[in-house]
C-alpha cells in the first residue's frame, strides 16, 4: 500500500478540517450586508417628509412623489417609480420627471459662466441616493455623471436607471466624501 493507515488517517482528518474551515469562510466572509443581490424594494416610510439642508435646499418626499427646491428657487421633481434599499439606512430613489419639472444641467466655461444647457431630451429617469437615514436626518445626494464632468445622469428607461443606480455603482454617480445631512422639518 502506498500510504500507511496512520498517514492516511492523518491526511483524511486534515482534509476534513480544511473542508469545514473552507465552508465556514464561504458562509461568513462574503456577507457585507451591502450588495445589489440583497436589495429591498419599496419606499422606506422614514423618508416621507420635508428635508432641509444648511444651504436651504429642500426635498419634499411623499409616498409617490419627490420634489427638490434648490438655490434661487430652482425646482425639479417627479413620480417615484422605484426605490431600492441596500441596507437599513442606504438606498436610491428613482423618479420619472414631471413634464414641467425636469432638471436643467448647465454647461459652464472656465470662468464658471453658464454657456448653455445639456440636452437631456427623452432622458426622463433620475436617481437620488440616500445614506445615513434616521428618523430625523438623512444625506440625500443628487446623481451626476462623474466621468462627464459632473454632467447629466438621467436615463431613457426605468430599467436603465435601476441598472445604473446600484449600490456597487454608487461612487460613479455621487461624491461619497460630500455628506451634508438634511434635517427633517416636517
In this structure, what C-alpha cell is assigned to residue 48?
416621507
* More confident of the two residues 116 and 32: 116
Yes or no: say if 77 and 99 are a contact pair by the CB < 8 Å rule.
Answer: no
- Domain boundaries of the chain, sorted by first residue: 1-30, 36-184
CA distance 108 to 1: 81
When pLDDT is cut at 50, 70 and 90, the band that residue 153 belongs to is very high
- Checking 158-162 for CB contacts under 8 A at 24+ apart, the result is 158/81, 158/82, 158/94, 158/96, 158/125, 160/125, 161/82, 161/94, 161/125, 161/126, 161/127, 162/82, 162/84, 162/94
Domain at 36-184: CATH code: 2.40.128
Q: Is 67 exposed, middle or buried (0-12, 13-18, 19+ CB in 10 A)?
A: middle
* More confident of the two residues 106 and 24: 106
pLDDT at 14 over 70: no
* More confident of the two residues 52 and 23: 52
- Locus of grid cell 435646499: 57
* Range of 32-36, 45-49, 107-111, 119-123 with top mean pLDDT: 45-49
Condensed to tens digits (0 to 9), the pLDDT of residues 95-124 reads: 999 999 999 888 888 998 999 988 898 999
Give this prediction's pTM.
Answer: 0.78
* Whole-number pLDDT of residue 126: 97
Amino acid at each position: 500500500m502506498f500510504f500507511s493507515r496512520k498517514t492516511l488517517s492523518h491526511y483524511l482528518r486534515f482534509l476534513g478540517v480544511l473542508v469545514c474551515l473552507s465552508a465556514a469562510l464561504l458562509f461568513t466572509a462574503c456577507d457585507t450586508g451591502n450588495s445589489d443581490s440583497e436589495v429591498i424594494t419599496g419606499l422606506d416610510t422614514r423618508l416621507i417628509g420635508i428635508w432641509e439642508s444648511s444651504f436651504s435646499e429642500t426635498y419634499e418626499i411623499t409616498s409617490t412623489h419627490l420634489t427638490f427646491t434648490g438655490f434661487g428657487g430652482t425646482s425639479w421633481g417627479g413620480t417615484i417609480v422605484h426605490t431600492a434599499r441596500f441596507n437599513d439606512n442606504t438606498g436610491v430613489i428613482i423618479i420619472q420627471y414631471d413634464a414641467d419639472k425636469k432638471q436643467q444641467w448647465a454647461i459652464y466655461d472656465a470662468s464658471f459662466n453658464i454657456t448653455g444647457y445639456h440636452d437631456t431630451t427623452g432622458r426622463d429617469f433620475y436617481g437620488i441616493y440616500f445614506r445615513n437615514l434616521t428618523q430625523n436626518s438623512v444625506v440625500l445626494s443628487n446623481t451626476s455623471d462623474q466621468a462627464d464632468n459632473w454632467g447629466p445622469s438621467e436615463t431613457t428607461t426605468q430599467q436603465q436607471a435601476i441598472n445604473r443606480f446600484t449600490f456597487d455603482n454608487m461612487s460613479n454617480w455621487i461624491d461619497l466624501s460630500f455628506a451634508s445631512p438634511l434635517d427633517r422639518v416636517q
